[in-house]
C-alpha cells in the first residue's frame, strides 16, 4: 500500500477522499501471533485493539458506515477452543466498548445469521444495538455468522416466497428491490473494501455489495492496522477513477 507523503484531507460528502462506506476483511491475527510465538488467541486480542483504533479513526475521518467481517459462516470450521475464544472476546469487546461507542455517537448494527450464537451473546448484541440505535454518527455493521452466498440465498428465498404468496409480481423484482432485502439495506453503497494480511480474495464477503466497490489488498496484518493504514487506504481510493461501467 502506498500511503503517500502528504497527510490526506477529509473531502466533503463522505469521509476522507469521499468514501462513505468502507468494509474490512480483518485477516492476519493468527499469523501475527505465530510470528511472535504466541497462541492464536493473543492475535485475536490484538485484533480487538485494532478494531477499537479503526472505529475511532473512521468516525474522526468522517466515514458514514464501516462494515467489519467479524465472524464468517465458514469460521465454524475452526477448532472449538478458538471459536470459544472468539466468542469470549466479542462479549468482552461489547462490555468494554459500549459506553465509549455510545458516547461517540456510534450506531451498532448486525448483519448475518447471528441468531445462531449462544442466547446470552445474542441478547448482549441486540442490547448494544438497541442502546445505540438513536445515534447519528458512524454506523458500525458487525458481520457475524455472515456469508455472502448465504445472504443472497436468503434474499432469493424471501422473494420467491412472496411471489408464491401472491404479494409480489416476479416482474417487479429488480436491482433496487433486491438491494432493499439485503442485510445491508439502508447503508450507503459500498465504496471501498480492504483486506489485510496479503490475501487477494473476497472470501464470501459482501458479494452483491462489492459489485462496483474499489478493492484494496494490503500486506499489513490486522493487529497492526491503525489510523495511518486507514488513511493510506482512503488516499489510494481517492486517486482512483470510478466509472461504474460507463466507459
Active-site positions read 27, 75
To the question of whether residue 222 is assigned a binding role by annotation, the answer is no
Quickly list H helices, 110-185: 119-132, 148-165, 175-180
To the question of whether residue 203 is assigned a binding role by annotation, the answer is yes
How far is residue 121's CA from residue 85's CA, in Å, rounded to a whole number? 13
To the question of whether residue 5 is assigned a binding role by annotation, the answer is no
To the question of whether residue 88 is assigned a binding role by annotation, the answer is no
φ, ψ for residue 95 (rounded to 5)? -65, -45
**What would you report as the CA-atom Rg of the chain, rounded to the nearest whole angstrom?**
18
To the question of whether residue 200 is assigned a binding role by annotation, the answer is no
Look-up of cell digits 461507542: 101
How far is residue 174's CA from residue 139's CA, in Å, rounded to a whole number? 26
To the question of whether residue 37 is assigned a binding role by annotation, the answer is no
To the question of whether residue 135 is assigned a binding role by annotation, the answer is no
To the question of whether residue 208 is assigned a binding role by annotation, the answer is no
To the question of whether residue 20 is assigned a binding role by annotation, the answer is no
To the question of whether residue 76 is assigned a binding role by annotation, the answer is yes
Residues in the chain, total: 247
Answer yes or no: are the C-beta atoms of 141 and 66 closer than 8 Å: yes
Quickly list H helices, 69-199: 80-103, 119-132, 148-165, 175-180
Residues placed in the known binding site:
27-32, 40, 44, 72-74, 76, 78, 195, 201-203, 214
Residues placed in the known binding site for substrate:
28-32, 40, 44, 72-74, 76, 78, 195, 201-203
Residues placed in the known binding site for Mg(2+):
27, 214
Amino acid at each position: 500500500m502506498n500511503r503517500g507523503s502528504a497527510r490526506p484531507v477529509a473531502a466533503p460528502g463522505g469521509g476522507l477522499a469521499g468514501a462513505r462506506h468502507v468494509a474490512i476483511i480483518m485477516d492476519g491475527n493468527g499469523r501475527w501471533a505465530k510470528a511472535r510465538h504466541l497462541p492464536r488467541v493473543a492475535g485475536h486480542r490484538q485484533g480487538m485493539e485494532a478494531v477499537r483504533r479503526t472505529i475511532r479513526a473512521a468516525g474522526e475521518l468522517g466515514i458514514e458506515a464501516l462494515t467489519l467481517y467479524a465472524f464468517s459462516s465458514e469460521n465454524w470450521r475452526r477448532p472449538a477452543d478458538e471459536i470459544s475464544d472468539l466468542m469470549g472476546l466479542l462479549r468482552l469487546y461489547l462490555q468494554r466498548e459500549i459506553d465509549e461507542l455510545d458516547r461517540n455517537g456510534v450506531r451498532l448494527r448486525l448483519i448475518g445469521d447471528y441468531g445462531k450464537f449462544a442466547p446470552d451473546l445474542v441478547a448482549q448484541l441486540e442490547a448494544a444495538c438497541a442502546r445505540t440505535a438513536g445515534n447519528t454518527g458512524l454506523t458500525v455493521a458487525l458481520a457475524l455468522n455472515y456469508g455472502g452466498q448465504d445472504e443472497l440465498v436468503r434474499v432469493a428465498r424471501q422473494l420467491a416466497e412472496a411471489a408464491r404468496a401472491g404479494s409480489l409480481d416476479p416482474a417487479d423484482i429488480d436491482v433496487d428491490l433486491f438491494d432493499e432485502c439485503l442485510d445491508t439495506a439502508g447503508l450507503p453503497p459500498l465504496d471501498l473494501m480492504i483486506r489485510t494480511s496479503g490475501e487477494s480474495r473476497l472470501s464470501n464477503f459482501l458479494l452483491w455489495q462489492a459489485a462496483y466497490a474499489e478493492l484494496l489488498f494490503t500486506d499489513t496484518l490486522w493487529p497492526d492496522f491503525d489510523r495511518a493504514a486507514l488513511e493510506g487506504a482512503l488516499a489510494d481510493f481517492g486517486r482512483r477513477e470510478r466509472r461504474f461501467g460507463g466507459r
